[in-house]
Structure 1
């Protein structure tokens, strides 16, 4: 019975994360006019130390998004003049993603809306609760990154057959 309860709680937790992610996506578009990935890209590019850009692959790893997803978002941000792809100085085949001056000004103009979004989103949590939530989400992220796929029934059967011969 305890294992069933554990599965039930885990199912509820992961479903709530799914719902929260969808609500976040919907609310960011409504409140700030950006998708969560656009928001994350602009935020990542605006970080101190990245004024000269960041390699495309490094940005995918930092944001934990697929190359295809990031490429689509970058194309839109490029059309809007917020980012540019420039040749990587060390690798002619690679590109750096650079926040343009227009993109930086746009990001800065969004800061009051973003601050208000954060305040409303965390309204029912105390500072200590927010720190705890961040701590537990960091732990969950690390655990999720360590997940190894379980073997399929066919793979497990094949392994068992190999031991019997």
Structure 2
């Protein structure tokens, strides 16, 4: 016999629904702003921002990016291809591993990030941070960080075996 997990209590269920609703509403507002200001999808923004703002070299391996943005390898390859066609990134074989591809943000990609960031920050300030005190923001980070770390403790999606259809 398989044992079923205990059902969620009303507090857990309420917290879950609140988190999902906040995430959905925030994602919608962010995606609208990114489309309006930069003609970018959220995933494209994540890729450009990770390269332009998080990477000292402006480059990263595609597999590492897929793990970071929690996106499948094939879908990320497609999005990177669209960004490459738009001149916002370039792709090349990785100098460290010829089986890997490195993606690098271009000057045009950096310019798009610079253009969309003020509106992006404004949406985050208005939608997420406005109703919270500075202490609440710290508490939110303190609550979500261990959940994120727990969820990321599993092997990254890019390391998971591919499912056959």
Q: C-alpha distance in 2, partners of 1:112/1:119?
A: 11
Query: Is the 1:86–1:96 contact (alpha carbons within 8 Å) kept by the matching residues of 2?
Result: yes
Query: Is the 1:25–1:35 contact (alpha carbons within 8 Å) kept by the matching residues of 2?
Result: no
SS of the equivalent of 2:98 reads: strand
- The offset of 1:146, in angstroms, is 5.0
TM-score (normalizing by structure 1): 0.75
Return the index of the structure with the highest Cα Rg: 1
TM-score (normalizing by structure 2): 0.75
- The offset of 1:24, in angstroms, is 2.5
Unaligned 5+ runs, structure 1: 148-165
Q: C-alpha distance in 2, partners of 1:130/1:16?
A: 16
Which is further off, 17-26 or 58-67?
17-26
Unaligned 5+ runs, structure 2: 1-5, 155-165
- The offset of 1:64, in angstroms, is 2.4
Match of 1:80 among 86, 89, 93: 86
RMSD, aligned CA: 2.2
For residues 32-82 of structure 1, give each alpha carbon's deviation from its aligned partner in whole angstroms, at most 9, with x where no partner exists: 213332222111111254425101111112222221332232122222221
Aligned residues: 144
SS of the equivalent of 2:53 reads: coil
Query: Is the 1:85–1:97 contact (alpha carbons within 8 Å) kept by the matching residues of 2?
Result: yes
